[in-house]
Amino acid sequence: MSGKTRRNLAITVSVIATLIAVPSFSASPLTAYQNQGLNWKSCGSGLECTTFKVPLNYSAISSKSFTLSVVRHKATNTNQRIGTLFVNPGGPGGSAFDYASAATRIVSKKIAQRYDIVGFDPRGVGKSEPIRCLSDAEEDSYLSADTAVLTKNDLNSLLSRAKFFASKCAEPSNNKIAFVGTVDNARDMELLRQILKEPRLNFLGKSYGTYLGTLYAALYPTKVGRFVLDGAVDPNASSGSQNLGQAISFDKALLDYQNKSKSFTQQKILAFINSLYSKPLQLPSGRKLTASMAIVGIAASLYDNANGWPTLTSALDAAINKGDARPLIDLSDIYNRRDANGHYSNENDISQAISCLDISDTRSVSQMTSDGSVMKVRAPVFGPFLTYAGLACKYWKYPPSAKPSTKSILTNPIMIIGVTKDPATPYSWAKKLHLVFKKSSLVTFVGEGHTGHNRGNKCVDIAVDSYLLQGILTKSITCTS
């Protein structure tokens, strides 16, 4: 749940706001970075790994840099190799290194045969100089704290936590955290394309990865090859409208779950969540299931209707009927990347940092509160939780990154995929991104769950394979579940 005054609910997704001019700079200082060699080494399971350096600040290039980790699954049919396919699973803060490491599972056999599948952890993420803001204990406290505002004291507590998080993130990495925004990650992807000597960038981006792909296309439209943007983010949505759209989509997904599973109604689930504000469920260890943690666990289950919905039924039965918090806590921990020993990855921290550099939310706290009244009516379960999503960004030490215009982008033809009942990236966002890319095809998957490709729908998967393998981009089509 990317968002409890933290990152937004889409494992995916960054919020865009005011678009300002991208600073120009001379290409010559980049030469040393463009000409660096890559020392590929076997790293198991048929994979090759290496690192490459990127400039810390593209507008003032110097020797200060990030070292990024990259993995490659080489095409097995070298005689018919098409090129390199860059992949990104979303986030912000998701590991593209881990995603590409699973190359044979994330794309079809034919694509893995004819493309080198490449993924790199963006700056500050995973294996690329990971940045942490909070300790494990601080992360526990931050992620378990309730974010629905019922009283003035609740709001004051929320503001204090947001300021605390922002101040903690100003400390690490010698200010490197100021340069982890999506626009810098897009430039890093272009740099790696140049190092690999690929004529154009072929890209498969999921969820937030569609925003990364969109910014790349806006920066380098002539370098766009075959692009698949799945679980699309609207790059021109305000933070407030994005939070509202996401809250509504998650509530609708919960209603779909209710109607098809015939187990727990939305009303009963909401009553249970509300009860946790005053009386959290407690494990024998003393750890408590708070309302925020329950919301995260529920949302995590809604991403995948095939496996997530049955898991959610079991977890709700344990919590509501038996007073057992463990299954919902486990779901929350999986989403928040907390292991059994209480250690976190850095995904929560870096996700918020990336979002704050991508966001320019001009709303006051009182305006956010006012918007929250609408959100609570239109999305009674998830609305209160997302009302103050991104609040820490109001106290961020570093200004948002300068970004290119994403109002209209002209590239080679690309494919956009939207799922009609996607809980994390509403289908309306895919339609809006389709309008942004003047040469694009919209593949509509009529169904539930987050993203459409590689989820068992032959219609979607055939369309993706035909495009990536043969360059055949059909007209916009609708695929039923």
Question: How much is the pLDDT for 346?
Answer: 94
Q: What is the pLDDT of residues 462-474, one digit of tens each?
A: 999 999 999 999 8
Q: How confident is the model at residue 63 (pLDDT cuts 50, 70, 90)?
A: confident
Map residue 20 onto helix, strand or coil: coil
Render pLDDT for 427-460 as a digit per residue (tens, 0 to 9).
999 999 999 999 999 999 999 999 999 999 999 9
Structure tokens at 476: 């916009």
**Residues 463, 263: contact at Cβ < 8 Å?**
no
45 φ/ψ sector (left φ>0, alpha ψ -120 to 50, else beta): left
Distances 390 to 1, 143, 262, 365, 368 between C-alpha atoms, Å:
12, 13, 34, 11, 11
pLDDT at 172: 65
CA distances from 249 to 235, 236, 370 (A): 17, 18, 20
Phi, psi of 331 (to 5 degrees): -65, -40
Which pLDDT belongs to residue 147? 87
Residue ranges per structural domain of the chain: 28-130+177-237+404-480, 136-172+258-392
* Gyration radius (Cα) of the chain, Å: 22
How far apart are the two ends of the chain, measured CA to CA in Å? 26
Q: What is the mean pLDDT of the chain?
A: 92
Q: How confident is the model at residue 173 (pLDDT cuts 50, 70, 90)?
A: low
How large is the angle between the packed helices 291-302 and 326-336, nearest 10 degrees? 70
Report, at the CATH architecture level, how domain 28-130+177-237+404-480 is classified.
Answer: 3-Layer(aba) Sandwich (3.40)
Q: What percent of the chain is predicted at pLDDT more than 70?
A: 94
Query: Which tokens hold the place of 384?
Result: 């209160």
- Would you say 123 and 66 are in contact if contact means Cβ atoms under 8 Å apart? yes
Q: Is the pLDDT of residue 5 over 70?
A: no
pLDDT at 352 over 50: yes
At residue 150, the pLDDT reads 84
> How would residue 8 be classed by pLDDT, with cut points 50, 70 and 90?
low
pLDDT in tens, 241-291: 999 999 999 999 999 999 998 889 999 999 999 999 999 999 999 999 999
Q: What is this structure's pTM?
A: 0.93
Instruction: Reply yes or no on whether the pLDDT at 10 is more than 80.
Output: no
pLDDT, average across residues 219-233: 98
What is the pLDDT at residue 171?
79
364-387 per-position pLDDT tens digit: 999 999 999 999 999 999 999 999
The pLDDT value given to residue 280: 96
Nearest alpha-carbon partner for 382 in 1, 7, 17, 92: 1
Distance of CA 382 to the CA centre of its chain: 18
- What is the DSSP code (8-state) at residue 303? T
